[in-house]
Structure 1
């Protein structure tokens, strides 16, 4: 069990004012968790992330990256080149969270038949 610092307030995701609730909403948003899982294998550029995550718009990807960066879950590296080259990777906290999110996503994929939905059929 991890020791907590007595000087810090106790996190309570059920408390409407707790910052943990805001981070939980970012991670459990439609795109937040997918960005974390996509970055599990290493650094990716914006365009690589967009191709990896089907259906996400440029605007939503940009917003999601900003939010996850502000939450301390991903880092952004600007190479200072022209044309601009920027890539993203998980922070230590982001890596720990991405492992858990990947496990959840994997469990859902493995249990679709038990969950009352079927995977989308390709080509239909």
Structure 2
């Protein structure tokens, strides 16, 4: 039994030593300060928008207007940095609390973005 355990240990150690000799390729690049700041800013803006949209009143209003929550989340994630920053700035500048005007403003902005992207067609074009 002891001989079998020693033999297994020798095989494992031999394989691990052989694995150490193979070269590992690693690529590293310098990340610019601007890219790092933009990535952090996008995460902050996304958290702001998702926090505002996670409110029960907003979700309920979206459901009443026929907007799918999963599709909304996917569209928010697909927004460009400038669109997301603009929306987050609008949300941050709105009054705090359960103000109905803030909820309507957020809903309007999201619906406007969804209309611009072509997901929904609220504003029908007349011939």
Provide the TM-score with structure 1 as the length reference.
0.30
Which protein has the bigger strand share?
A: 1
Q: Kindly name which structure, 1 or 2, has the bigger radius of gyration based on alpha carbons.
A: 2
Q: Which has the higher helix share?
A: 2
Normalising by the residue count of structure 2, what TM-score does the alignment of the two structures yield?
0.30
